[in-house]
Every structure is written in C-alpha cells, then in structure tokens.
Amino acid sequence: MCTEPHPAARDAAERFLAANPGDPTTYPTISALEDEAVEALGEMTGLENPHGYIASGGTEANIQAVRAARNLAEVEAPNVVAPISAHFSFQKAADVLGVELRLAEVDSNRRADPDAVNELIDDDTVLVVGIAGTTEYGRVDPIPTLSEIAHDAGALLHVDAAWGGFVLPFTDYEWNFDHAAVDTMGIDPHKMGQAAVPAGGFLAREKRVLDALAVETPYLESTSQATLTGTRSGAGVASAWAAMDELWPAGYREQYERSQANAEWIADAFESCGYDVVDPVLPLVAADVPRKTVESLQSRGWRVSPTGSGELRIVCMPHVTRSMLESFAADLESL
Amino acid sequence: MCTEPHPAARDAAERFLAANPGDPTTYPTISALEDEAVEALGEMTGLENPHGYIASGGTEANIQAVRAARNLAEVEAPNVVAPISAHFSFQKAADVLGVELRLAEVDSNRRADPDAVNELIDDDTVLVVGIAGTTEYGRVDPIPTLSEIAHDAGALLHVDAAWGGFVLPFTDYEWNFDHAAVDTMGIDPHKMGQAAVPAGGFLAREKRVLDALAVETPYLESTSQATLTGTRSGAGVASAWAAMDELWPAGYREQYERSQANAEWIADAFESCGYDVVDPVLPLVAADVPRKTVESLQSRGWRVSPTGSGELRIVCMPHVTRSMLESFAADLESL
C-alpha cells in the first residue's frame, strides 16, 4: 500500500530531510507546514478545526486512538471493539496498551455487522473501531451506525481510513467527521495520498483527545508532546503537505478514477479466467486464485501478497498502471 | 540533537524514499540493508549477533525496551527504575505501556546513583535503565554496576545511548554490550551518526526480546512484526546504512574529536565570561547563564534550548562549527 511519491512530494521530502517537527520551536518552518497539512486533512475529512498531527503511519494513528480512549475513560480493564477486518495494528495496540481487543464478525458483504459489534460492547468498552477501506477487501463499514452504537455505550468512535481516506472523498460513502459523530481518524498521506514514507495522519474532533496523549518535554522549548515517537520526519511532513497542496482535490480525483477503472478492469480479467472475485468497491481487488498459481506468478517476478484467507490481492496504487495489469493478466491467462 | 545528514546518507535517503522496510518480502533490498545496518550497530556496541532493527528514534527504542521487559516478566503491576536524568520518553513509555516509572536520584556528578536505584527496586521491577550520554549533561551512568543490580533483581538492563552511542566508542567509558551484561540498547544513527531522520536503533542481546514484541501480520508475506510502527522509512534505514558504511570508525572518530574539542572550547568561553559550566565529558555543554541573557541571545537569532534546571545547553553536533561558536561567544561577551 506504499507507492512512488509524487514529484512535488519527493522534492519537498528532500528539502526537509534534516528537519524535526518533533521540536517545533527549533524548526518553525516544518511546524507551520505540519499545521497546514493537518488543516488540509481536516478539509478532506469534513472537520473544520482538526486537532492532530502527521504520524509515522496508520499503525501509530491506531495506537494513539486506542491510547487516547483508554486514558480518557479510566476504566479498570478497558476493551476495544473492532470488526475482524481491522488491520493487525489493533492487535499491536492491544498488546502495547494493555487493552483487550474484541473482534466482531462482519456481514456477508465483509462490512462490520452493527449487531455483532453491539453484542461485544460492555461498560468497559472505551473505543469502537470502524474501517473506511479495509486492508484486505477495500470495504467501508457503516460509520454513522457505528458512531451511534459507540456513543450510546459511552465509548469513542475511531475510523481507520489509512488507505481509503484519499479515495473516499470521491465516492458516495458516509465515512468522515461530517457524515457521522466520528471522534478520531487515521488517514495516511503516504498511501493513496502519494507522499513519501513516513507520513500518516492522526485527526481528532476534540482537543481533549490530544491532551490525553500529551507528556511534558522538559528540555525542549515547546512544553508538551502528544505524538507516539519523539524525533519525527521533516521529510514526511513536508511531502504530505506538498502532495496535498499539489493534488487536492483535482489530482486525487483523477487518480481515484484511474485506480478504480484499473481495479474493475483487472477484476474482469480474473473473472474471464474463471476465478471468483470480491467486487472492488474501492480500488482493491481480491480473487480466489489457487496458491500454486500465485506461486507461479511470484516465480515470474510478480510481487503479490495474499489476504488472510489466501486470496490473491491487488491494490491499484498510483504506480500500478494499466499496461502493468495487462502484462499480469497475460501471465495469469497463460498458467 | 538532530543534524545535517552526511552527503552519503542524504543520497541513500533520496534513493529509498519509496521503500518500506516494514514489508521485507516486497522490499528485499532495503531489508538487506537494514540487516547490515544492525550488524554495524552491533559492531559499534560490542555485540556479536545483534537482534534489532532501525527504529523511528530513541523514543521508540525506549518504549520497546520497556514493552519487552514488561511482556517477558508478566508481573501484575510492573515498574521500571531509571535515573532522574532519563529522557522524557520514559514518561511516555510508562503512560503508553501502563507501567510505573520510578526515578532515582543522581550523584553529585549527575550520574545514576546505584544505591538510589537499588532502593527503588522490588519484585515487580522489570527493567532498570542506564543512560550512556544523558540528554541534558552528556553523563554516562555506571553501566556495569547497574547491570549487576538489575540482574540480581531479575530485571533486564536497558542502556539509552540514543545520543551517546556514536561518540562513546572513542572514549574509555564502559557502556556497551561487551563491557557489561546489557540486555537492550537504543542508539540513534540520526543523531551523532549523521543519518537522515528517522533512523534510530533498537538492539537486543537475545532473540527472545524481539520475540516478546512480535505480533502476527496476516496479509504480509512475512509473518510477524516486532517494530512499534508498521510502515517504516526506507530513507531512514538506507541513510543509516550509508552513514555507517562511510564513517565507521574513522569518520566518526574524527567527528568525535572535533565535537569534543568544540565543547571544551565553548566551555572555556563560558567560564571566561564568568558563568558556571558543567564539565563536558562528552560533546555537550551546559552553562548557568541567566534566563535574561538567554533571551537576548535568542532575540539575536541563536536557537538554544535550556535544561530542565534552566541552564543554557549547547550540543556540539556535527553541523556546529568552531566559527559558529566563536560568533556565539562574541555575542555572549557583548551582553
């Protein structure tokens, strides 16, 4: 789910390789760019006054969402309820933060099932997770319903839009801060946003969420730090800013349309070879291709990674071109 | 404590801006460079078969050391004992991981006091921390003694050499895996190592430490991930490798000698202006300059950050030149 950075993003990354947004007083320029990048992410996700920062990636955003919810709730044995389609970083968050992760079944369309989520919730639930563009099948959970369920239980709602966040603005899905009472969100410029790694995004509707993450920083001029890491990548921040400045919204819309068309094209190619395909509602295709065929493709140099259930999975990232897919489809047909 | 990356490190960073060492099967080249970088860090720290990885920085290394110790110990209410000179990232680690941080007084020379550490240890102590080059005064704790104390208590010993690790090999201090029974260490190529941000190092003597951090990664070809973040910076890894390939050991020795001479020079300059100076045992000077004078210097454009006790602090990083210090000293004298 990484891609070649946009030339403007690459250029910005190279100019800020030595800057540390973790120390805003010493590096005011990169700090100002970070503020602008967060504003841009807010605009993209329907949040007028976003609180947040450019994180190392989706894993950090997920860990921070769980951490903030845990810190704000102050219950003895906190738990988090997420669909089984959630990224494995929630397992990491659970281990790191000492919270229990409860995984709810998904419906027949691979989206979070609100009833299944509801059944796992109890008084110790501090956070409910919805995914806007699942890692394996590109599914968008019913975010408005999940937000109601979460708030009825006194929990926060976190939306993991790490991969989907840069394509969803061009779809009809209800997934963002404006569509529902979302509390926090992860959205990664370094995935479909075409920034250089590491450039994730962590957003919160309310300032108290960031406050719940802050620790004091005695020897820096700034007095507290809400990020998970300390020193952070100026290159990542600058390239996130530059990519959004260049591409939002027209460039991202164009990229979405190209990626979505590619996904539908390769889905058709799988089907005409006789394989079952999970309908690509976002630019991500999973097809039920036997392991042996996958291995033959890999031995021809194709780098494909499987889903947990073993399907062959193609993410139509910006660097994935139609001619690349044509060449892949030709190899697939020949097997 | 960041610096301009070495040209070789910058070049390598630019070449690997789009690679993700978090997915080693998809990106085998950067993964191989990471293995070599970890080997080089092992050589630098007296560890023949190092287990570890290139982290986002010292904060991640400290969090991971505490996390591994907590996970291996499996006690109900784990605590960590560190000197009060420990970096604030241990506060962050304590909050994130739900462990108690106990801070021990330092001796008159600002080094960890083994008796004070010993007094805070109990059956629930999972980790003792020693600092090899403190953030504020560049002090090196008595690592061999601390390792004995830790192991007598059934705890692990972590050495935070984030800043000091690239200068200590050229001193007589006992600080590394070969000098003492050190279990884990943080050592940052992106500080005195002249790599681009983000390039920290987390090292462990035993494989079980990394195993205690691993979570499963269902959709990646590799099967587990011991890092704190998910997607990681190929630029950071490549530039760490390139910097060490270029500079270890001769280039780093030269840099240490230049930085140390600069530190002693500016320490003398402070003294001749009548200010008390904390003797720079490593290339880091703290001087008791009144806040008003510091503000005057800042208003002239000098970016100086204070210690927790308010001393003016100058870290003689590679980009800090003698002529820069001469100009600073001239401004200081004129006030």
B216 and A305 in contact by Cβ < 8 A? no
For every residue of A37-101, DSSP letters joined together read HHHHHHHHTT-SS-EEEEES-HHHHHHHHHHHHHHHH--SS-EEEEETTS-THHHHHHHHHT-EE
B227: left (phi over 0), alpha (psi -120 to 50) or beta: beta
Q: Dig out the tokens for B200 from the structure.
A: 């920290």
Q: Chain A to chain B, count of Cβ pairs less than 8 Å apart? A: 197
| Per-residue pLDDT band at B331 (split at 50, 70, 90) | very high
Give the pLDDT score at A306.
81
| Per-residue pLDDT band at B306 (split at 50, 70, 90) | confident
- Kindly report whether the peptide bond that precedes residue B283 is cis, defined as omega within 30 degrees of 0: no
Which CATH number is associated with domain B7-247?
3.40.640.10
B10: helix, strand or coil: helix
As a whole number of angstroms, the distance between CA A229 and CA B43 comes to: 26
As a whole number of angstroms, the distance between CA A305 and CA B29 comes to: 17
Q: How many CB atoms lie within 10 A of CB A55?
A: 29
As a whole number of angstroms, the distance between CA A38 and CA A44 comes to: 10
Asked whether residue B218 carries a pLDDT value surpassing 80, the answer given is no
What residue in A sits closest to B86 (Cα-Cα)? A218
A230 and B59 in contact by Cβ < 8 A? yes
How confident is the model over A118-167, as pLDDT tens digits? 999 999 999 999 999 999 999 999 999 999 999 999 999 999 999 999 99
- Out of B88, B197, B231, the one facing A231 most closely (by C-beta) is B197
For the ranges A13-17, B9-13, B215-219, the lowest mean pLDDT is seen at B215-219
- Out of B57, B231, B308, the one facing A218 most closely (by C-beta) is B308
Beta-strand pair A125-131/A156-160:
parallel
- Out of A19, A57, A91, the one facing B231 most closely (by C-beta) is A57
How confident is the model over B38-90, as pLDDT tens digits? 999 999 999 999 999 999 999 999 999 999 999 999 899 999 999 999 999 99
As a whole number of angstroms, the distance between CA A229 and CA B126 comes to: 22
A231 and B98 in contact by Cβ < 8 A? no
Q: How many CA atoms lie within 13 A of B301 on its CB side?
A: 4
- Out of A88, A190, A219, the one facing B135 most closely (by C-beta) is A219
* In contact, B111 and B142? CB cutoff 8 Å: yes
What are the C-alpha distances in Å from A330 to residues A40, A119, A251, A311, B236?
Answer: 41, 47, 30, 19, 37
Question: b/e for A23-46, b at 16 or more Cβ within 10 A?
Answer: bbebbeebbebbeebbbbbbebbb
| Per-residue pLDDT band at B219 (split at 50, 70, 90) | low
Gyration radius (Cα) of chain A, Å: 20
Q: What is the residue whose two structure tokens read 């921390």? A: B129
| Residue extent(s) of CATH 3.90.1150.10 domains in chain A | 250-334
B81: helix, strand or coil: strand
How confident is the model over A158-197, as pLDDT tens digits? 999 999 999 999 999 999 999 999 999 999 999 999 999 9
Residues of A in contact with B26 (CB under 8 A): 303, 305
Q: Is B313 on the interface with A (CB under 8 A)?
A: yes
How confident is the model over A27-66, as pLDDT tens digits? 899 999 999 999 999 999 999 999 999 999 999 999 999 9
A13 and B306 in contact by Cβ < 8 A? no
Q: How many CB atoms lie within 10 A of CB B165?
A: 28
Q: Dig out the tokens for B294 from the structure.
A: 């510091």
Q: Is A84 on the interface with B (CB under 8 A)?
A: no
Maximum Cα–Cα distance across chain B: 64
| Per-residue pLDDT band at A221 (split at 50, 70, 90) | low
Task: Give A217 to chain B, closest Cα distance, Å.
Answer: 6
A138: helix, strand or coil: coil
Residues within 8 A of B (CB atoms), A 208-267 only: 215-221, 225, 228-236
Asked whether residue B223 carries a pLDDT value surpassing 90, the answer given is no
B235 and A232 in contact by Cβ < 8 A? no
Residues of A in contact with B20 (CB under 8 A): 2, 197
Give the pLDDT score at A223.
66
Pick the CATH number of B250-334 from 3.30.365.10, 3.40.50.300, 3.65.10.10, 3.90.1150.10: 3.90.1150.10
Residue A197, phi then psi, degrees to nearest 5: -70, 140
Q: Is A186 on the interface with B (CB under 8 A)?
A: no
Q: How many CA atoms lie within 13 A of B321 on its CB side?
A: 4
B216 and A88 in contact by Cβ < 8 A? yes
Give the pLDDT score at A304.
82
Maximum Cα–Cα distance across chain A: 64
A215 and B10 in contact by Cβ < 8 A? no
Give the pLDDT score at B221.
59
| Residue extent(s) of CATH 3.40.640.10 domains in chain B | 7-247
A59 CB-near residues (< 8 Å, 6+ apart) = A87, A89, A92, A200, B228, B229, B230, B231
B305 and A221 in contact by Cβ < 8 A? yes
As a whole number of angstroms, the distance between CA A77 and CA A64 comes to: 18
- Kindly report whether the peptide bond that precedes residue A78 is cis, defined as omega within 30 degrees of 0: no
B45: helix, strand or coil: coil
Residues of B in contact with A231 (CB under 8 A): 1-2, 56-59, 188, 190, 197-198, 200
Task: Give A56 to chain B, closest Cα distance, Å.
Answer: 7
* In contact, B124 and B78? CB cutoff 8 Å: yes
Q: How many CA atoms lie within 13 A of A123 on its CB side?
A: 2
A216 and B4 in contact by Cβ < 8 A? no
Residues of A in contact with B220 (CB under 8 A): 305
Give the pLDDT score at A219.
63
A148: helix, strand or coil: helix
As a whole number of angstroms, the distance between CA B320 and CA B303 comes to: 12
Q: Is A307 on the interface with B (CB under 8 A)?
A: yes
**Average pLDDT value for residue range B230-249:** 96
**Average pLDDT value for residue range A303-327:** 91
B127 bridge partner residues: B80, B156
Average predicted confidence (pLDDT) for chain B: 95
What residue in B sits closest to A200 (Cα-Cα)? B231
Q: Which of B298, B328, B286, B317 is nearest to B110 (CA)?
A: B286
- Out of B14, B56, B219, the one facing A306 most closely (by C-beta) is B219
Asked whether residue A220 carries a pLDDT value surpassing 90, the answer given is no
Asked whether residue A79 carries a pLDDT value surpassing 90, the answer given is yes
**Average pLDDT value for residue range B164-180:** 98
Q: How many residues does chain A have?
A: 335
Most B CBs within 10 A among A90, A219, A315, hence the mutation to make, goes to A219
A251, with CB counted inside 10 A (0-12, 13-18, 19+), is: middle
A263 CB-near residues (< 8 Å, 6+ apart) = A280, A282, A283, A284, A285, A314, A316
Q: Which of B319, B179, B325, B327 is nearest to B263 (CA)?
A: B325
Q: How many CB atoms lie within 10 A of CB A4?
A: 14
> What's the distance, CA B300 to chain centroid?
30
Residues of B in contact with A93 (CB under 8 A): none
Q: Dig out the tokens for A18 from the structure.
A: 């030595």
